[in-house]
Chains A and B, each alone.
Chain A
């Protein structure tokens, strides 16, 4: 399996622009997660889906952030409008939750976002 695939790997954008991050989870995984990582705050959970349905979006910082999962093989995280404080690494991850393995998570390589 190719693992979790994220695009773009790097994005530099100007403040106020819309940013769309994309993710293809591992086939067969029922859970999909979006995390954000910064030096100050570490790895923060933004939102997660189970079987394409959003379960908990309490970590989404503001209404400027939105996430969708239209099908089992694709998800997007959108920031509109973007601000410099949104600069971070955004990770998508997926998991085949089982009772024996819990929510062992497989991460993508991240999308490095810089908002100037």
Chain B
């Protein structure tokens, strides 16, 4: 069956460090992989999209990599801040179909 796994439910880091979140999938051939941020009591918000033929995508302090051989994406937040504390969800899209989401990793950045 198709499965998306995010490496851990929770990740705690200190302010200023780089947070690295992992998303692994099986039995998919996604055309796109996306990352979303969800704050408590709110809906998820789109952050970044990376296509199957792209290795890396950056946006300000965010970086996403996509390895279709390993079936893995890494999501990095550099110089992390307490305001980055949230749940981060990865999602796969098989081109024209609905996004399927992982359960998310809750990041806590302490000052």
User: Which residues of A pack against B, CB within 8 Å?
Assistant: 4, 31, 33, 35, 41-43, 45, 48, 55-56, 91, 93, 97, 101-110
B95 touches A102 (CB 8 A): yes
Q: Given A102-B95, A107-B43, does the pair A43, B101 have CB atoms closer than 8 Å?
A: yes
Q: Given A42-B103, A42-B104, A43-B89, does the pair A103, B98 have CB atoms closer than 8 Å?
A: yes
Question: Interface size bucket, B side?
Answer: 20 to 34
A102 touches B46 (CB 8 A): no
Does residue B44 face the partner (Cβ distance < 8 Å to A)?
yes
Which of A42, A91, A101 lies in contact with B49, CB distance below 8 A?
A101
A45 touches B100 (CB 8 A): yes
In the complex, what distance in Å separates the CA atom of A56 from the CA atom of B99?
A: 12
A56 touches B101 (CB 8 A): no
User: Could you name 24 residue pairs across A and B whose Cβ atoms are closer than 8 Å?
Assistant: A4-B43, A33-B98, A41-B103, A42-B101, A43-B44, A43-B89, A43-B101, A43-B104, A45-B98, A45-B101, A48-B98, A55-B98, A56-B98, A91-B43, A97-B96, A102-B34, A102-B51, A102-B93, A103-B96, A103-B97, A105-B91, A107-B44, A109-B43, A110-B42
**A39 to B: closest C-beta gap in Å:** 9
A109, closest chain B residue (CB): B43
B46, closest chain A residue (CB): A104
**A29 to B: closest C-beta gap in Å:** 13
Q: Can you name 11 extra interface pairs (CB under 8 A) apart from A43-B44, A102-B31, A105-B91?
A: A43-B89, A43-B101, A45-B101, A48-B98, A91-B43, A91-B44, A97-B96, A104-B46, A104-B49, A105-B44, A110-B43
